[in-house]
Structure 1
Amino acid sequence: MKKILYLFLLCLTSQAFAQIKFTNPILAGFYPDPSITKVGTDYYLVNSTFSYFPGIPVFHSKDLKNWKQIGNVIERNTQMTFLGDGTSRGLFAPSINYHKGTFYMTCTNIDKGGNFVMTAKNPAGPWSDPVWLREVKGIDPSLFFDKDKAYIVYNSDALDNKPLYSGHRTIRTYEFDPVTLKVSGEEHLLVNGGVDISKKPVWIEGPHIFKREDWYYICAAEGGTSVNHSQVILRSRSATGPYVPYENNPILTQRDLDPNRPNPITSTGHAELVEGPDGKTYAIFLAVRPYEGNFYNTGRETFIAPVKWTNGWPVINPNLKEVQYQYAADYKEIKQADAPPQNGNFSYRTTFDNKLDQSLLFLRKNDSSWYSLSKKNGFTMKLKPETCMEKANPAFLGKRQQHTFCTAKHSASIHPEIRK
């Protein structure tokens, strides 16, 4: 009886201290500008896709490590296409939120229409057509729900469109009606320039407002999205300010580290904070894994790091200078059934039976006139005169490169008429 009791207690103890290990990036390969929301015990995350189609993948996780793509926000040509847009234009910085049974996704179509909001009852879709927010001038819109009020916060122009220096931007907000999907009232200026305008901070963007205890916080990026990227934090007793910056900003950056360090992670920023399954705070942010200086064929990717609260202020990656390739936390890992791995060393096989994998990307729209799917012939393409260097819809189907060192193989055949 004692042995049985001892084994039972040992089982409880090991379960209580089960450790999960994260491998960065948690979403490898061209998953920039992450935004995350927690609904009960579920996490949902979205990323930018620029001019690729379908747009804005939606991921689900139970543990912040194992992610499964469950859909795409923009999957119908009737929602929008990106014909005429450069590959780095299109959709900028989506944000996902949940409120009273509805998921909201706000985003910027940088060259066509500006800012918009879309909704869904199920994050896997289908998502609504876009509702355009013409009054919201700028980029990177994000929603914040505060009891009986909601706000949309975004990066905007300098005051009176008169920048004091190159890269001078502001953060502003309107009240937002989650039912009519319209803004109301007066626009409020929340941040002018950045943490310290006397130092000419550039490109404060990707703002998110959240509330903790009696404080409202703005978490935003500064410095641009390259090697000078950083994350800053400000707080206020009111959602509409005034906001006071943390004296030890930035709360995340890698710009001061030796650029020649081995296996660097750089360009960290565009972060959003979220409560983990253990009740602790974690940051989800973009970064890159460069090689030979500042090349990165895997693109901007999604990373994770722990957050420590000190005197009411959050610090990302506390007590460390370099963002780590691995972290551990004291809670249980929950794997997802039928989910291909998204981080670490892995291999996969993509087949083309009767349905395209959700992670595959066209350029600018899905035009099914030049391809077909079948169990016998797989993915059959008709060649087109358009090329990837142009701004049309070429005969292109892409898969993200998710490893810095990898091998790819494919099986293909050319129809005899084409061969001639």
Structure 2
Amino acid sequence: MLNTPCLSVLRRFVPCIVYLVAFMSCGPEAKKDENVPVAPHTAFFDYFNYTGKDDFYTENPLPDNSSFYNPILPGWYSDPSICRNGDDYFMVTSTFSYFPGVPLFHSKDLMNWKQVGNILRRSAQLKLDNQRVSQGIFAPAISYNPHNRTYYMITTNIGGGNFFVKTRDPFGDWSDPVWLPGVHGIDPSFLFDEDGKAYIVNNDEPDGGSAYEGHRAIRIHEFDVETEKTKGEGKMIINGGVDLKEKPIWIEGPHLYHINGKYFLMCAEGGTSVDHREVIFVSDSPMGPFKPWDKNPILTQRHLDPDRPLPVTCAGHADLIQKDNGEWWGVFLACRPLENDFENLGRETFMMPVQWSEDGFPFMTTGDEVVPRIVKMDGVQRADRVTFGNFTVRENFDAPQLGAEWMTLRGPAEGLYTLKENPGYLALKTAEVNTSELKEPAFVARRLQHHKFECETRMHFLPETDKEQAGLVLFKDEKHQYAFLVHKTGEETEVTVHKISPEGVEVIGKQALSSEDKTGVLLKITSSGKHFDFTFKQGSDDWKKVAEHIPARHLSTANSYGFTGTTVGMYASSKAFK
């Protein structure tokens, strides 16, 4: 991550003609000898700064250079899947209705990860029209097939079905989708077996239909690598879960492994909330029959004291990987609720060692073991730039493309933002769509990754009508947002905080902008974990409060439906919230 930049930037604005404003500034990050572009129906953002300030990291420094923090991918990186080819490790997570889809992380040692791109980055690969934010892409699974030296990513698009893409160069482009009409349900994953055969396992309806709410099954399909089609009908290999008599719910996220002559089927069970757990089955054949381990689950935190300090909850949906030294590790999703109450970060990616029982089963936790927040990986040295802990990210919008961590909703937002025409600025058009609609808004966002954080931007914007507005939005879903916006009210220009909820839109704070410097305003959101403060600044003035001590719980999964965490980003619209 980038080092914290100088934030004490002072800029003077001098009016110029044809919507141009010249400025001078000080500080190492400032842009010099440039014109600040100001144009009709457009908001310009000249930087975005995000700093994580979680107490745990400051109070618990890592003990040595071979240790890392959990979560290893903080913030909403759910449903992790991992594969290895030699000393290259790749990991992917879900993106639901954000674009581009499926972030791709790479590592050489399993500790130091870097996002190297997104797998679904072309419109032809990812159709998300009219899908809610928690629809779209579910549980991608990444695999490497050594028989044809090809990487595969298989997943579900709720709006289209199950498909895979492939490549021989994971750092480059991936293919267009290959659809699998014979594979229904969700959460498919591949096994490319030692003998060259291939299989797909997935969640689906049980034979004869569901007997109760949440009753699901795991099916297996043989897959022909040459024709890229499944062979015959899928076979149900798990009905319900570990013990059908107990009416287990939501068996899903299956992964099939061939280890030491045995076939292990690992699945999530119990739903994605606090009853989430990981279970495992074994067979002598990929087609079954599969027998559950008598000590399941192999990973869970559901039975622990909810009042325990620093709880990790919802642990499950795991994948396993073996290092070249023989060690086994697991990646999985879990949550970090504040005081076991709520969280806005969504389901995050954790990692921990895998142990093997005397009777030959892998497991991650047993008894009252907790998911560790600090983990040691012998023989590996932590790099200077890592994905975990407190960090600062500075985006100056100097590159011709957005970084891989930035996302839009339901599509690439083509024509709604630009970087190339205005180097050093993100330009957002005031599109006639807002973030409450199932469309592509002018909204460029990144994940929140800390409970306590501070984010800031400088925006240049001259609203021309009462409907035009631009600023920062904290976004959980279509009906749970905080919008920190500059807009016109009659002849006045105001900065306002809107609360968007199922009950409607409420203005929870506002301040008038001064008559000068209306084309340059600093907007800052500060989180104390459970509350947000919204402040703004013009020129050399002091920071002014617009709304403070605003409940963060409004954006939490505990208060809303959904599988994502909260994102924050730049926004512009000519369609006011209603």
Q: TM-score, normalised by structure 1?
A: 0.91
- In structure 2, what is the Cα distance between the partners aligned to 1:390 and 1:295? 26
Alpha carbons of structure 1 residues 48 and 95: separation in structure 2 relative to 1, 3 Å: same
Which residue type is aligned with residue 402 of structure 1? Q
Residue by residue over 1:318-369, the C-alpha shift from the partner in whole angstroms, topping out at 9 and shown as x without a partner, is: 5761101011121122648xxx531111112112122201110000001221
Once structures 1 and 2 are overlaid, which stretch shifts more, 409-418 or 43-52? 409-418
User: What secondary structure, in the 3-state scheme, does the structure 2 residue paired with 1:355 have?
Assistant: coil
Q: Is the 8 A contact 2:413 2:441 kept in 1?
A: no
**Counterparts of 1:270 and 1:377, CA distance in 2:** 40
Distance in 2 between residues matched to 1:32 and 1:271, nearest whole Å: 10
Written as runs of structure 1 = structure 2, the 5 A alignment for 1:373-384 is: 373-374=419-420, 376-384=423-431
The answer to whether 1:249 aligns with 2:263 is no
Q: Distance in 1 between matches of 2:113 and 2:414?
A: 29
Q: Which residue of 2 aligns with 1:300?
A: 347
Aligned residues: 398
- Alignment partner of 1:120 out of 158, 167, 191: 167
1:78 CA drift (Å): 1.8
Counterpart of 2:245, as a letter, is: S
Instruction: Please tell me the residue identity of whatever aligns with 2:388.
Output: N
Residue 396 (str. 1) matches residue 443 (str. 2): yes
Does 1:347 find its partner at 2:395?
no
Cα separation, 2, equivalents of 1:294 and 1:278: 40
Give runs of aligned pairs for residues 350-389 of structure 1, distance below 5 A: 350-353=395-398, 354-374=400-420, 376-389=423-436
Contact 2:206-2:236 within 8 A present in 1 as well = no
Distance 1:211 1:383 in 2: 53
Q: Which runs of 4+ in 1 moved over 4 A?
A: 416-420
The two structures, once aligned, show a CA RMSD in angstroms of 1.7
Q: Given that residues 79 and 140 in structure 2 are in contact (C-alpha distance below 8 angstroms), is that contact kept between their aligned partners in structure 1?
A: yes
Matched, 1:316 2:361: no
- The CA distance in 1 between the partners of 2:436 and 2:72, in whole Å, is 31
Residues 63 and 334, structure 1, Cα contact 8 Å, conserved in 2: no
How much has 1:294 moved relative to structure 2? Answer: 4.2
Deviations 1:257-297 (A, max 9, x none): 11121211100000011113532111100001112544221
Hey, what does 1:35 align to over in structure 2? 81
CA separation of 1:274 and 1:319: change in aligned 2, threshold 3 A: farther
Structure 2: which 5+ residue stretches go unaligned? 1-63, 469-486, 489-578
Q: Distance in 2 between matches of 1:377 and 1:256?
A: 51
Amino acid in structure 2 at the alignment position of 1:268 = A
Q: How far apart, CA to CA, are the structure 2 residues paired with 1:348 and 1:255?
A: 34
Contact 2:413–2:442 under 8 Å retained in 1: no
**Whole-angstrom CA distance in 2 between matches of 1:357 and 1:237:** 46
Could you tell me how far apart the structure 1 residues matched to 2:363 and 2:423 are? 54
Please, what TM-score do these two structures have when normalized by structure 2? 0.67
Among 59, 66, 87, the alignment partner of 2:112 is 66
3-state SS of the aligned residue for 1:78? helix
Check conservation: 1:72, 1:358, Cα contact below 8 A. Answer: yes
**2:130 alignment counterpart:** 84
* Preserved CA contact (<8 Å) 1:236 1:242: yes
Q: 1:280 aligns with which of 320, 327, 351?
A: 327
Unpaired stretches in structure 1, ≥5 consecutive residues: 1-17
Q: For 1:201-216, what aligned pairs fall within 5 Å after superposition?
A: 201-216=248-263
Q: What is the aligned partner in structure 2 of residue 104 from structure 1?
A: 152
What is the correspondence of 1:209-228 to structure 2 with a 5 Å cutoff?
A: 209-228=256-275
- Distance of 2:372 and 2:461 partners within structure 1: 45
User: In terms of mean alpha carbon deviation, does 86-95 or 275-284 score higher?
Assistant: 275-284
Structure of greater Rg: 2
Counterpart CA distance in 2 for 1:116 and 1:361 is: 22
**TM-superposition CA deviations, 1:91-134 (whole Å, max 9, x none):** 00000001131110100011x22100111111123111111111
Mean Cα displacement is larger for which, 324-333 or 55-64? 324-333
User: Secondary structure of 1:407's partner?
Assistant: strand
CA contact (8 A) 1:19 1:329 kept: no
Partner SS for 2:208 = helix
- Give the stretch that moved more between structures: 124-133 or 293-302: 293-302
Asked if the contact 1:116–1:132 (Cα under 8 Å) also holds between the matched residues in 2, the reply is yes
**Preserved CA contact (<8 Å) 1:306 1:318:** no
> Residue 181 in 1 paired to residue 246 in 2?
no
How far has the Cα of 1:387 moved from its partner? 1.4
SS state at 1:198 partner: helix
Contact 1:268 1:288 in 2 (8 A): yes
Q: Who is 1:14 aligned against?
A: none
- Partner of 2:446, secondary structure, is coil
- Cα contact 1:19–1:330 (8 A) shared by 2: no
SS at match of 1:412: strand
